[in-house]
Amino acid sequence: MEKKVAIYRKEHFNAAHRLYVPEWPDSRNLEVFGKCSNPNYHGHNYELVVKVTGVPDAKTGYVINLSDLSDLIWKHVLVKFDHKNLNLDTKEFAHLNPTAENIVLVIYEILREKIDPVLGLSVRLYETERNFVEYPA
C-alpha cells in the first residue's frame, strides 16, 4: 500500500484590509466588524501554511520539491497580496470581503489550479497568532 505523507511550507505576507459590507451603513459595519471596519484600513502580518499530500517519490524521497512549491506560492500568491491593500489593490477582493475565511478560500483556489491534481492540498492562514483559519476544514 502506498504511504501518503503531508508536507508543509510556511510563507508570509503583509497586507492592509478593511472589513465591511458596502450596502450597509457605517453603524452596522461597526457593529458587526468592530475596529476591523475602520474606513482607512488596518493591517496584518499574514502567515500562510500550505499543506500538500502525496506519496513520496521512490528515488528522490520527495512528495513535492519544496523549492518548487515555494516558488509557486511566491509567483501566484505573494506577488498578488504582499505589501498590498487587499480591498483596493487586488481584483480578488474588489467585491469580496477580505475576512480570513475568504482569503484562505481565494488562496486555495489559486493554488489548487497550479498544483498537480494527484496531490492533496489544504491551506492555513494566520491573521494574528490568536486568529487563524484553514480550508478545507
Catalytic machinery residues? 36, 83, 127
Q: Quote the CA–CA distance of 37 and 66 in Å, as a whole number.
A: 37
Sequence letter at residue 89: D
Smallest gap from residue 114 Cβ to a copy of itself (A): 19
Smallest gap from residue 103 Cβ to a copy of itself (A): 9
Comparing CB distances to a copy of itself, the nearer of 77 and 97 is 97
Smallest gap from residue 106 Cβ to a copy of itself (A): 11
Binding residues for a copy of itself, per CB under 8 A? Answer: 3-12, 14-17, 19, 21, 32-36, 38, 40-45, 53-54, 56, 59-63, 65-67, 82-85, 88-89, 96-102, 104-105, 120, 128-137
Residues 121, 72 contacting (CB under 8 angstroms): no
Q: Quote the CA–CA distance of 22 and 97 in Å, as a whole number.
A: 9
Nearest to 63 by CA among 1, 123, 5: 5
